[in-house]
Amino acid sequence: MADTKKRAEGAYSAEDISVLEGLEPVRKRPGMYIGGTGIEGLHHLVWEIFDNSRDEAMGGYANEIEAVLLPGNRIRITDNGRGIPTDVHSKTKVSALETVMTTLHAGGKFGGEGYKVSGGLHGVGASVVNALSIYTQVVVHRDGGIHMQEYSQGKKKAAVKKIGSSKLHGTITTFEPDTEIFKDLQFVWETIVNHFRGQAYLVKGLRIRCIDARGYEGKMKLEDVYWFSELGLDLPNYSFYFEGGLISLVKYYNLSQKPIHDSIYYIEKEQDDVFVELALQYTDDVSSKIVAYANNIYNPEGGTHITGFKMALTRTLNNYAKKEGFVKEADGAFTGEDVLEGLTVVVSVKLREIQFEGQTKGKLGSPEAQGAVATVFGESFAAFLEEHPEDAKAIINKVIIAVRARKAAKAAKDSVLRKGAMEGMTLPGKLADCQTKSAEEAEIFIVEGDSAGGTAKTGRDRRTQAILPLRGKILNIERARLDKMLASEQIRNLVVAMGTAIGDTFDIAKLRYHKVIIATDADVDGAHISTLILTLFYRYFRPLIDGGFIYIAQPPLYKIKKGKEIFYCYTDEERLKITGVQNEDLDEMIRRAEEDGAGEQEGDVEEVEEKGAVKKAPKMHIQRYKGLGEMNAEELWETTMDPERRILKQVMIEDAAEADRVFDMLMGSDVAPRKSFIQTYAKTADIDI
């Protein structure tokens, strides 16, 4: 972009910092600024500081960023940009650095010429992070000097001070989130690495390093070190640098797919002050991957740029297909659903003035992005199809197959719904429904097998709990179209029980249960069945996951009766703590019990001495559950179904694009990526033999 060419360093000064208000609102209502105070909000702090460094790179002022996880729940982010100005601000009468860090809506992104394009919270990011941290330190290398200031809960500890001289330039920010705001302070290494990998694809020429130094025991002052990596420590680390940009990112997403055309389409162009960059490729998959960014901020909910893309894609492919005689008028036009099947696309736009729907930037709202993307992509993609006739033919044939599949799926779906309606309330015979008609208090247990289903039906609360037993492993739908899916009785039963319908008639408002609980055995087969069910929900009932309606039940592994006391243990660690029986001894006890034909092993624990008298510890029974069917109705209710005592894990998707890639790899038809994954992680796997 012409607007992101490097300008003279002196053009970024204190006068480019605008000031609006203080930080108290942030601590009172943190959710308004970072979306929440859970694990996502915690990582949002990292993204905000990183965004400031990344914006320097987008403007052409930096080409390296380093993020380091430190002991004590601290994280350090360094860039070699211009450095935050440290001269005195004319309005606040203090250093511009202090103004940026302690005043809400103070930053170089509010008018002036500090930034042409930015991705942070419109300049509030650094101050918000500071307000929500118990400790923050900023070290600035600029104009030949090193300046530092420290803060706590958004307030300075002392004035900005010069601590040395330097020939370098850039900003080093270290912060520790406040336990008064966040209950969980454990940064997730994989989440941070995946986020920064994605960012490296988006800024050409930018190198991003991630270092996990939580095991670092050095005592040196980190303000004396510019790049932590130069210490040469043997720590987990990644370095990302991608010359291909979005083309490389599309290749990455399609690693476990089979492309149907070799050429990856790519365009970058400015239109009406909107910079549009886009790359796409079709594969033989039946689902699509649409990844959206605005000013390098990931938009999981899409927005105006995606609307413009979809409009142009549908129009361009329809025009080309008719012009070249691939389809006749009687066949009807391609729909938006048809042209998306098998598509992997990354759409990135950059705007000077940007609008998001919501403070967490999940959806772009800038109307000018829609027209710019539609114009740039529509004209360019039409030319691409003309210049690559073989690729164009492969794409059109793929869409035609999708059209036929859509029509077949509609016929199959209509058949299922008609049949369901004739049977009354569309409910399958195996479903033991609950009495309540309120979806808010109703829950359905999807259980493994008729045996567990029978026990669950006996032990449940009939008023609020429905039971749907599934027979064995359901169809792997990762590569299956809707018509093939609905040919499976198991999946038909599940679809009908949900009440939402499926495909283009899906309606989440008709969901019959607001808790959909997957309850399978705690073994490899149970985990496989859970994965197959989750794959179905992810591909065809995604709003149920996004809405927080999907849960996984956690049945116990052991029942322990110690004297008159009964304990249920959900892990081996719990069992060991209660019984003191080591794994090797437990296996022997269970082996003897099986040889004796007993369901549980009873025995005296060794004699113990208490106050000089020798006495026997109470007798102990240890029972290991191999499946839900081994429990009686009372046990299943107490451990897995009683809302007061059960343990449920809610299924959430933090990174949809990465989850999509993993599902493709683990559940798709391409063996090579799955084999590589197994070989990589085989040694660390917890194998149930």
| Catalytic machinery residues | 448, 521, 523, 525
Could you give the residue ranges of the DSSP H alpha helices within 468-582? 482-485, 489-498, 524-540, 542-546, 572-579
**What are the start-end ranges of the H helices in 508-620?**
524-540, 542-546, 572-579, 583-595
Q: Distance from CA of residue 182 to its chain's centroid?
A: 19
Main-chain dihedrals φ then ψ at residue 447, nearest 5 degrees: -110, 160
**Which residues are paired to 448 by β-bridges?**
470
User: Could you tell me how many helices (H) and strands (E) the chain has, helices first?
Assistant: 21, 25
Residue 247 has which token pair?
């083309």
Q: Cα–Cα distances in Å, from 77 out to 12, 135, 208, 291, 372?
A: 21, 14, 10, 26, 34
| Alpha carbon of residue 297 to chain centroid | 14
N residues, the chain: 689
Residue 493 in tokens? 């039963």
Query: In the Cβ-directed half-sphere of 376, how many Cα atoms lie within 13 Å?
Result: 28
The CA distance from 467 to 471, in Å, is 13
Hey, what's the torsion of the CAs at 228, 234, 237, 243, to 10 degrees? 80
Cβ–Cβ contacts within 10 Å for residue 123, how many?
A: 26
H/E stretch holding 411 reads helix 389-423
Can you tell me the distance from the alpha carbon of 69 to that of 59, in angstroms, rounded to the nearest whole number?
A: 26
Could you tell me the maximum CA-CA distance found in the chain, to the nearest angstrom? Answer: 99
CB 292 within 8 A of CB 303: yes
Cα–Cα distances in angstroms (integers) from residue 455 to residues 439, 468, 640, in the given order:
24, 12, 12
- The Cα–Cα gap between 487 and 407 comes to 15
Rounded Cα distance, 649 and 51, in Å: 32
DSSP calls for 633-666: HHHHIIIII-TTT--EEE---S-HHHHHHHHHHH
Q: Please name the residue that has the structure tokens 């930053």.
A: 107
Distance CA 663, CA 257 (A): 11
**In this structure, are residues 426 and 416 in contact, taking their beta carbons and an 8 Å threshold?**
no
